């Protein structure tokens, strides 16, 4: 061979060897290789070397990061080493799939990995002790008959690793070379060697015969080497499917429990220790003061016997005791065990003076601890709960904690109905099973399916048994479900649940959203504003709760939002109504997790509706069909898909039939269940730091989104009903002012522009270019613009097109800031829902919505009168409130009184005056200044009335007059009433800078009639007597003979004709038996007779009113 050829071969050899030398199998030291689940682990040695596997584990014990979750304490597949040795032992290279298919699944829902430790060994020298494995098993003897052994007790070498072995038992060290009968060698089908033993230091290939009834029915290839004083055999795993094992030696061992002078082999086998008649039995006994285990066994009771009882926990001996032969029951105190372990006892005996004992007979194990099941649950965010049960097999006499620690992003994904269970003296065993209910949290976030481990842990401080560290747990899978939000803003512009946009300018009541799967719906009320229309009210129904937020009860620009709980039942648990500190924003939160929010202005309101995953594929109305398909959103009431006008018109509600005007039929039980999703029980995240209980719906918010809960106030106002000037009143008959639209409207439309004739430029000269620039600038000047621009799913100019259209139609800049408000709303929604944006300091902390977005969002953009710093408005000098909307240098500006400036005490709430205006501040200094006007007829002077101010919204302050304005009840013989009075109201934010005054006329309609301007006049068909009003035929409060007859006398009493004969009883004459008394009596009777004669001689029609008044005044 030439030198050139030699060089080429060297290069080729190096190219093969060098990668091996630098690979995972380089060197002769112990190597460790790992592979994550569902990958392949490659093992290999250099040419001439073979793999020697010393360790293998498939599972997860924390040494490799292959993903989450990892079980506490780790998990291992028990047969890992056997499987890997069977595949790789003695080979130069092998490849093992790290998968459940190969090893089984030792821990469900956990990402696992395969770890193998091995050594590459050189050429075989099997005679060296370290190069072969010793087998010491007397039952492999050809002289041992295994007939009658249970299948599980038979030897089986199908899992034997390939390699060199030496048999070292006293039965003999050589494989038999002649046929061995079936049921020999401790197995069913024995293997004998068909061949001869080689000479010293020689190795020879031989055949192993498997006797399945024909001596050599199957064969395996073997090697045998003569090591001078012993033989070694290279054995392979035997075929699977039947018990088969290699034979070694021919001496027959004595049966178990017998011995002999021949080292325990035949001949001469006799019993050498006492035997039990069956396995011991284990029982448990719980008492009031102590609990214990009993190990009962049955054997000879001879006096020369000693029984040895061993107590085991998880097969580890913890206590050993010796007892004389006649004692055959042992006791173990419960205090000596560990919880959640298997308790067992094993017994063996010996004759006194002998050290030979039988193999212990062992009882069945008794699991002493907590049993949980099932241990795998699945719950859906839009579904019902799942249950698992807990019971204890022993008396714990303590509480058991249920712990579900925070999961993904440091927050719980499931809630439980209880965080502890009590297991007292009598509360153990399967008959005292307790149930725990698990709910998936509706988090309204896109966070995927999550896994929650729930541990059941005893309270170690109180229990009668010590915890072992072995915990019972349940793995809960929470299935994520999508939610959505829709909007109706401006004049109004709609964005459906599937993000389809359209405009609709119709007025009236409409179905904004209705669920077809549960009793949940939202109605909107739309009125004319400028040349277009705006939302002025929203009504929400879920289950039996109906809430309205309505500012449609007066002329445009002169109303305020009124929040009412219209339903009469107790509100469902989880229903809340809140308002912002500025009083401009209201939110209705419902038990299902649904939300309805309003942003109110003087012209109307923007509406935002958020629905839970329950409504996916089950919605209808102006907000479309929530099914991720915007193409089918314009589905009309009859189910057809149409254009915008036909679609929107189909969802109009006939007058008087909406939730604003009538209550729906009560929801049935099934409907209530679908609405609330849970029964109102307190649900908790049961952490190691204690329970955190609340609503299973956790709609995310920013930390600075702090609202004022007004739910209890609404319930109290509804239960209290209208407040009146006096306690004895007729039932409330007041109703809200009617909602007027279209041809029936009596309020003027603020603009003459119509949609048809709107063009550029507008009448005031605004061009398309001007409008576009102003709308974009409104968005760009938002402090949230930069933060929102960083969110890929947010279009920062999404509201510009609507803003431009609003300016064109209204020739008004009132909607200018809507471009920024819509951008901020969509930005907020994305930041709260998309958990990939959340901030989390470390894996142990709770992730929070992105601060860079939340800190840039301030209420109402601070009304352009302040700076937004960390989500808080820092107002310019002279301005205040949470949104800087109030100018403290000016008093509030009053524009109207709710429901008009006249109030009839017989049918209205006249001691509560709702004042509508601008510039109100929710503060302790808010004051109502109320005065009652003077009255020339009665001589009453102008006077201040005590009143309490209540901030209702940014547009309304409610003044409650704490003193009667009118006096409508009383005895005209004793005092004077007040049937009508003018009251003036002014508001101040600081108690000093008062607004202009509004006048309210309060009157008693029994005798007064007043027009809307406050001008009043007496009624012709009623009486006013000393300031008290009486309707026709109304009686004197203390004298039924006198009544109101305005046709006779409108300012005095008239006697009832049928009671005239009884009139003298009112003239009391007292005869005292003296002359003076008699004269007085005669004169009194004469006077009365004269009066009666005058009355009969003059008809009522011929009397002048003055004469009537004089006569009436003369009456007693």
Confidence (pLDDT) at 189: 96
Q: Which two tokens stand for residue 838?
A: 């959340």
Q: Are residues 61 and 38 in the same domain?
A: yes
Is residue 874 one of the residues assigned to a domain?
Answer: no
Q: Which of 93, 121, 149 is the last residue of a domain?
A: 121
pTM comes to 0.65
Q: Are residues 927 and 902 in the same domain?
A: yes
pLDDT over 90 at 484, yes or no: yes
Confidence (pLDDT) at 678: 52
pLDDT-derived band at 695 (thresholds 50, 70, 90) equals low
* Mean pLDDT, range 264-270, rounded to an integer: 77
Q: Are residues 422 and 495 in the same domain?
A: no
* Mean pLDDT, range 442-470, rounded to an integer: 82
pLDDT over 60 at 1075, yes or no: no
Q: Helix H segments across 269-370?
A: none
pLDDT over 70 at 414, yes or no: yes
Q: Higher confidence at residue 85 or residue 879?
A: 879
3-state secondary structure of 377: strand
Domain enclosing residue 500, as ranges:
484-677+710-742
Is residue 1025 one of the residues assigned to a domain?
Answer: no
Confidence (pLDDT) at 209: 97
Please tell me the distance from the alpha carbon of residue 248 to that of residue 243, in angstroms, as a whole number: 16
Q: How far is CA 646 from its chain centroid?
A: 39
Q: Are residues 548 and 637 in the same domain?
A: yes
Sign of CA dihedral 1038, 1041, 1043, 1049: negative
Is residue 936 one of the residues assigned to a domain?
Answer: yes
- For 458-472, give one letter per residue: b (16+ CB within 10 A) or e: beeeebbbebbeebb
Q: Are residues 509 and 617 in the same domain?
A: yes
Confidence (pLDDT) at 366: 97
Cα–Cα nearest to 919, from 891, 945, 942: 891
Confidence (pLDDT) at 7: 42
Please tell me the distance from the alpha carbon of residue 395 to that of residue 416, in angstroms, as a whole number: 24
Q: Are residues 1083 and 1100 in the same domain?
A: yes
Q: Are residues 94 and 133 in the same domain?
A: no
Confidence (pLDDT) at 217: 94
* Mean pLDDT, range 34-55, rounded to an integer: 87
CATH number of the domain bearing residue 945: 2.60.40.10
Q: Are residues 630 and 736 in the same domain?
A: yes
Confidence (pLDDT) at 409: 65
Burial of 918 (0-12, 13-18, 19+ CB in 10 A): middle
Q: Kindly report which listed range (261-265, 493-497, 522-526, 710-714) carries the lowest average pLDDT score.
A: 261-265
Is residue 695 one of the residues assigned to a domain?
Answer: no
pLDDT-derived band at 1092 (thresholds 50, 70, 90) equals very low
Q: Higher confidence at residue 659 or residue 105?
A: 659
pLDDT over 90 at 936, yes or no: no
Q: Helix H segments across 184-304?
A: none
pLDDT-derived band at 89 (thresholds 50, 70, 90) equals confident
Residue 121 has a CB neighbour count (10 Å cut-off) of 17
Instruction: Tell me the pLDDT tens digit for each residue of 297-339.
Output: 999 998 888 999 999 999 999 999 999 999 999 999 999 999 9
3-state secondary structure of 277: coil
Q: How many distinct structural domains can be found in the chain? A: 8
Confidence (pLDDT) at 737: 36
Cα–Cα nearest to 487, from 515, 512, 506: 512
Q: Which of 121, 150, 176 is the last residue of a domain?
A: 121
Beta-carbon contacts of 626 under 8 Å, excluding residues fewer than 6 positions away, are 484, 497, 498, 611, 615, 616, 617, 618, 619
Q: Higher confidence at residue 22 or residue 473?
A: 473
Beta-carbon contacts of 491 under 8 Å, excluding residues fewer than 6 positions away, are 505, 529, 530, 532, 533, 534, 806, 809, 810, 815
Is residue 324 one of the residues assigned to a domain?
Answer: yes
Q: Kindly report which listed range (265-279, 604-618, 646-660, 777-791) carries the lowest average pLDDT score.
A: 265-279
Give DSSP secondary structure letters for 925-973.
Answer: T-EEEEEEPPBTTTTBPPEEE-EEEEEEETTEEEEEE-S-SSB-SS-TT
Confidence (pLDDT) at 442: 81
431 in the Ramachandran plot: left (φ > 0), alpha (ψ -120 to 50) or beta? alpha
Please tell me the distance from the alpha carbon of residue 444 to that of residue 450, in angstroms, as a whole number: 14
Instruction: Tell me the pLDDT tens digit for each residue of 758-814.
Output: 889 999 999 999 999 999 999 999 999 999 999 989 999 999 999 999 899 888 888
Confidence (pLDDT) at 1060: 52
3-state secondary structure of 440: strand
Pair 884, 876: CB distance under 8 Å: yes
pLDDT-derived band at 408 (thresholds 50, 70, 90) equals low
pLDDT over 90 at 1096, yes or no: no
Q: Higher confidence at residue 230 or residue 1066?
A: 230
Instruction: Tell me the pLDDT tens digit for each residue of 938-996.
Output: 677 889 999 999 999 999 999 999 888 888 888 999 988 999 999 999 999 999 999 99
Peptide bond into 642 cis (omega under 30): no
Q: Are residues 921 and 1013 in the same domain?
A: yes
Is residue 517 one of the residues assigned to a domain?
Answer: yes
pLDDT-derived band at 745 (thresholds 50, 70, 90) equals very low
pLDDT-derived band at 680 (thresholds 50, 70, 90) equals low
Q: Are residues 831 and 905 in the same domain?
A: no
- The overall average pLDDT reported for the chain is 84
Is residue 705 one of the residues assigned to a domain?
Answer: no
* pLDDT > 90 in the chain, percent: 54
Confidence (pLDDT) at 646: 95
* Mean pLDDT, range 233-250, rounded to an integer: 94
Q: Kindly report which listed range (100-104, 604-608, 924-928, 1057-1061) carries the lowest average pLDDT score.
A: 1057-1061
Is residue 873 one of the residues assigned to a domain?
Answer: no
Give DSSP secondary structure letters for 601-652.
Answer: -SS-EEEEEEE-GGGTT-EESTT---SS-GGG--B-TTS-B--HHHHHHHTE
Q: Which of 202, 232, 259 is the last residue of a domain?
A: 259
Confidence (pLDDT) at 756: 54
pLDDT over 70 at 43, yes or no: yes
The side-by-side arrangement of strands in the sheet containing 943-945 is 902-904, 998-1003, 980-988, 927-932, 943-945
Cα–Cα nearest to 60, from 21, 2, 108, 117: 108
Confidence (pLDDT) at 404: 81
Confidence (pLDDT) at 359: 80
pLDDT over 80 at 655, yes or no: yes
Q: Are residues 344 and 410 in the same domain?
A: no
Q: Are residues 565 and 610 in the same domain?
A: yes
């Amino acid at each position: 061979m030439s030198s050139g050829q030699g060089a080429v071969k060297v290069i080729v050899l190096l190219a093969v060897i060098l990668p091996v030398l630098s690979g995972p199998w380089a060197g002769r030291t112990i190597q460790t290789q790992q592979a994550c689940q569902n990958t392949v682990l490659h093992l290999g040695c250099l040419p001439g070397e073979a793999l020697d596997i010393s360790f293998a584990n498939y599972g997860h014990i924390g040494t490799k990061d292959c993903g989450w979750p990892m079980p506490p304490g780790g998990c291992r597949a028990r047969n890992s080493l056997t499987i890997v040795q069977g595949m790789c032992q003695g080979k130069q290279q092998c490849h093992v799939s790290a998968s459940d298919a190969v090893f089984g699944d030792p821990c469900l829902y956990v990402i696992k990995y395969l770890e193998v430790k091995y050594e590459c060994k050189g050429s075989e020298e099997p005679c060296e002790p370290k190069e072969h494995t010793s087998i010491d098993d007397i039952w492999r003897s050809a002289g041992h008959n295994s007939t009658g052994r249970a299948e599980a007790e038979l030897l089986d070498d199908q899992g034997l690793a390939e390699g060199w072995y030496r048999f070292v038992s006293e039965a003999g060290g050589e494989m038999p070379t002649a046929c061995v009968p079936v049921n020999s060698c401790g197995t069913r089908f024995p293997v004998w060697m068909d061949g001869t033993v080689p000479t010293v230091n020689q190795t020879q290939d031989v055949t192993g015969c498997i006797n399945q009834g024909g001596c050599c029915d199957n064969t395996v290839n073997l090697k045998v080497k003569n090591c001078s004083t012993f033989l070694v055999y290279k054995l392979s795993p035997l075929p699977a499917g039947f018990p088969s094992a290699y034979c070694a030696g021919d001496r027959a061992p004595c049966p178990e429990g017998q011995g002999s002078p021949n080292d325990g082999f035949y001949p001469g086998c006799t019993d050498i220790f006492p035997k039990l008649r069956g396995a011991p039995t284990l029982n448990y006994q719980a008492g009031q003061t102590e609990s214990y285990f009993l190990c009962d066994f049955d054997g000879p009771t001879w006096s020369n016997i000693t029984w040895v009882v061993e107590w085991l926990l998880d097969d580890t001996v913890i206590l050993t005791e010796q007892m004389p032969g006649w004692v055959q029951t042992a006791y173990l105190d419960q205090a000596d065990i560990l919880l959640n372990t298997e308790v067992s006892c094993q017994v063996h005996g010996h004759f006194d003076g002998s050290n030979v004992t039988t193999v212990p007979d062992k009882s069945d194990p008794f699991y002493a601890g907590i049993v949980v099941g099932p241990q795998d649950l699945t719950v859906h965010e839009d579904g019902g709960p799942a249950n698992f049960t807990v019971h204890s097999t022993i008396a714990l006499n303590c509480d058991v904690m249920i712990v579900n620690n925070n999961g993904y992003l440091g927050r719980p994904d499931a809630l439980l109905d209880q965080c502890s269970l009590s297991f007292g003296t009598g509360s153990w065993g399967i008959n005292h099973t307790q149930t725990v209910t698990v709910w998936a949290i509706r988090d309204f976030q896109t966070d995927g399916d999550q896994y929650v481990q729930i541990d059941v842990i005893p309270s170690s401080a109180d229990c009668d048994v010590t915890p072992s560290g072995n915990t019972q747990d349940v793995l809960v899978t929470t299935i994520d479900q999508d939610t959505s939000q829709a909007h109706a803003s401006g004049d109004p512009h709609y964005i459906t649940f599937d993000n389809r946009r359209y405009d609709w300018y119709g007025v009236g009541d409409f179905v904004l959203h209705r669920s077809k799967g549960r009793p949940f719906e939202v109605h909107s009320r739309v009125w004319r504003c400028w040349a277009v229309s705006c939302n002025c009210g929203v009504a929400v129904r879920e289950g039996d709760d109906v809430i309205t937020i309505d500012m449609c009860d007066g002329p445009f620009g002169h109303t305020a939002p009124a929040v009412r709980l219209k339903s009469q039942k107790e509100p469902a648990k989880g229903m809340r109504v809140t308002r912002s500190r500025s009083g401009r924003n209201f939110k209705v939160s419902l038990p299902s997790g649904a939300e309805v929010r309003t942003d109110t202005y003087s012209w109307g309101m923007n509406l935002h509706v958020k629905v839970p995953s329950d409504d996916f594929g089950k919605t209808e109305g102006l907000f479309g069909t929530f099914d991720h398909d915007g193409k089918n959103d314009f589905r009309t009431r009859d189910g057809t898909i149409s254009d915008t006008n036909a679609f929107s018109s189909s969802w109009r509600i006939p007058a008087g039939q909406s939730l604003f005007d009538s209550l729906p039929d009560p929801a049935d039980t099934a409907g209530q269940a679908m609405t609330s999703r849970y029964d109102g029980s307190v649900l908790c995240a049961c952490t190691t730091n204690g329970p955190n209980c609340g609503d299973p719906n956790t709609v995310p918010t920013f930390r600075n989104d702090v609202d004022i809960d007004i739910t209890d106030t609404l319930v109290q106002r509804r239960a209290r009903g209208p407040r009146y000037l006096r306690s004895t009143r007729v039932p409330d008959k007041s109703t809200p002012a009617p909602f007027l639209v279209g041809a029936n409207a009596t309020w003027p439309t603020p603009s003459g522009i119509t949609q048809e004739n709107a063009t550029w430029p507008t009448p005031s000269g605004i061009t398309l270019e001007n409008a576009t620039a102003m709308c974009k600038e409104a968005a760009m000047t938002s402090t949230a613009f930069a933060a929102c621009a960083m969110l890929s799913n947010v279009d920062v100019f999404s509201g510009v097109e609507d803003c431009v259209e609003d300016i064109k139609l209204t020739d008004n800049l009132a909607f200018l800031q809507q471009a920024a408000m819509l951008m901020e709303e969509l930005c907020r929604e994305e930041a709260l829902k998309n958990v990939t944006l959340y901030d989390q300091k470390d894996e142990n902390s709770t992730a929070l919505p992105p601060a860079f977005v939340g800190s840039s969002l301030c209420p109402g953009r601070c009304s352009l009168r302040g700076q937004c710093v960390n989500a808080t408005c820092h107002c310019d000098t002279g301005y205040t409130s949470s949104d800087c909307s109030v100018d403290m240098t000016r008093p509030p500006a009053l524009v109207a009184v709710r429901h008009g400036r006249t109030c009839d005490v017989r049918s209205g709430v006249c001691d509560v005056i709702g004042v509508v205006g601008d510039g109100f501040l929710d503060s302790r200094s808010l004051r109502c200044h109320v005065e009652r006007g003077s009255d020339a007829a009665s001589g009453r002077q102008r006077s201040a009335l005590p009143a309490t101010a209540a901030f209702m919204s940014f547009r309304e302050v409610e003044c409650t007059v704490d003193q009667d304005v009118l006096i409508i009840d009383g005895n005209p013989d004793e005092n004077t009433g007040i049937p009508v009075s003018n009251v003036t109201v002014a508001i101040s934010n600081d108690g000093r800078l008062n607004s202009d005054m509004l006048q309210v006329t309060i009157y008693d309609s029994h005798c007064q009639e007043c027009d809307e301007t406050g001008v009043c006049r007496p009624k012709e068909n009623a009486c006013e007597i000393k300031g008290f009003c009486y309707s026709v035929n109304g009686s004197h409060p203390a004298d039924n003979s006198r009544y109101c007859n305005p046709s006779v006398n409108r300012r005095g009493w008239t006697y009832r004709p049928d009671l005239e004969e009884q009139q003298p009883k009112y003239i009391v004459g007292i005869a005292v038996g003296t002359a003076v008394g008699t004269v007085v009596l005669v004169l009194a009777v004469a006077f009365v007779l004269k009066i009666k004669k005058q009355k009969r001689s003059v008809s009522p029609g011929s009397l002048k009113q003055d004469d009537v008044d004089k006569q009436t005044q003369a009456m007693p």
